[in-house]
Amino acid sequence: MLIATLTPGRGTLGGAVATATPHGARFHARAVRTQPRTASQTQVQARAHALAFAWRTLSPTQRAGWQTLASGAASGYNLFFACNSNLLAIGQPGILAPPGSRPAFPALSALTVTTLYNIPTPPNSVFAWQLDTMPALTAVTGVVARMTGLLSPTKANIRPSDLRIVATGNSCTTPLFIPRDSWFRVFGHVAGSGRITFELTLIDPLSGFAGPTLRASTAYSSLAPTETIEWDTQYLINGGLAAFIPNQVFEIEGEVVAGP
């Protein structure tokens, strides 16, 4: 006779998962992930593990320094994690010792976005976006640029989860140019029209502190908007203006004699 004894426990065994509940152990089939992590998600997870390990290697003095620099707004660990994540994002090496002080950032008041089309070369599609700040960034600094996918023009609430990193740099000034292909690599080939929101965050390239974050939105169309042509037709009698007719085409026997 085979007797199986089950004891309360947690974890997985083969294809079963055990969960302890007030009424005893509960078993259910292990779910198979249907949407595997993307390369970006895997990279972020690996970076988080590496920074958690790095924090454990810090001396008590270094940890206390990070805690003091956090000034109660966050824990020393959270500040260490945020600064080093920012540095790695812009291609700078991480740091273990806390910076001596918080850096100063330029006071920016606005971000504007200009869509650039490859006119007059067909198919007259978007090839880049130009980002300008007010005032312009003249001293080199680190930046992280994020964009949304194509959104409905009526969507007003842009959540952080809607934004994805499309460009980074550790020595940038404005204007900045973001190629369309950088957007396509994150969101796939996008056709149609709608709105896109941009977010620009300044990063100190030595300490990893994040500075001001600015947002701006712009209309998007996969092809250049059709230009509206306006014209005026003047009707003269004996050299004097007798009539002024806007946006009208005049034909005689099917041939245009006045118009654009």
User: Omega into 135 within 30° of 0, i.e. cis?
Assistant: yes
Residue with tokens 């940038």, as numbered in its chain: 172
- What DSSP assignment string belongs to 71-135? TTSS-HHHHHHHHHHHHHHTTPPP-SSPPSSPPP-----EEEEEEEE-TTSTT-BEEEEEEEEES
Mean pLDDT computed over every residue of the chain: 81
**80 pLDDT exceeds 90?**
yes
- Which amino acid, one-letter code, is at 178? I
CATH superfamily of the domain spanning 110-221:
Immunoglobulins (2.60.40.10)
Q: Is the pTM of this model over 0.85?
A: no
Q: Check residue 74 and give its pLDDT.
A: 82
pLDDT tens profile 2-48? 444 445 556 666 567 777 777 766 766 766 666 556 777 788 888 89
Domain boundaries, the chain: 40-89, 110-221, 228-260
List pLDDT tens digits, range 199-256: 999 999 999 999 989 999 998 887 766 555 454 555 556 666 555 555 555 555 556 5
Q: At 28, is the secondary structure helix, strand, or coil?
A: strand
* Mean pLDDT, residues 122-129: 79
Question: Between the ranges 82-91, 118-127, 187-196, where is the mean pLDDT highest?
Answer: 82-91
End-to-end CA, the chain: 98
